[in-house]
Amino acid sequence: MIRKCPNCGKKNRIPAKHLADQGRCGSCKGTLPPIAEPVDVDTATFDEIVNSATVPLLIDFWAKWCGPCKMAAPVVKQVATEMAGRAIVLKVDTDASPELGQRFNVLGMGIPNFVVMNHGRVIHQKAGLVDHRQMVSWLMRART
């Protein structure tokens, strides 16, 4: 995954297993903080992150046409910021990656749909809007 250095703006390649870690920019040697925003993923990136993540994942299955998904987006972003270094938040556009939606039966349950995973296993799944505290609670419980 490519991340831009907040200090110098140079692009850095970060292995999926280190997205939740603090690192150093290859150019300016400045600090690269843990990812603190939702990561838009396709199937290949999703699988890479799920298979190598060392922290719990919150996956937000959504679509551009979905009103409740748009309402959930700022909450999902807040969770990504708050849980940086302790969890990773992924966003899956179900129209762009329908195979992921099928894999998690999202189409049958509806969107938005939230899945919490740890070490490649589904810990929790819930369709519909949920608040910030609930998402953080799921991730904290998944850490144990």
Note if 8 is an active site residue: no
Which one is catalytic: 5, 8, 25, 66? 66
d(CA 4, CA 2): 7
d(CA 101, CA 109): 10
Note if 28 is an active site residue: no
d(CA 141, CA 59): 15
| Locus of tokens 């938005």 | 112
What tokens appear for 86 in the block?
Answer: 């302790």
**Distance linking the first and last C-alpha atoms of the chain:** 27
Count CB atoms within 10 A of the CB of residue 68: 14
Which one is catalytic: 8, 25, 28, 69? 69
The residue type found at 34 is: P
Residues annotated as part of the active site: 66, 69
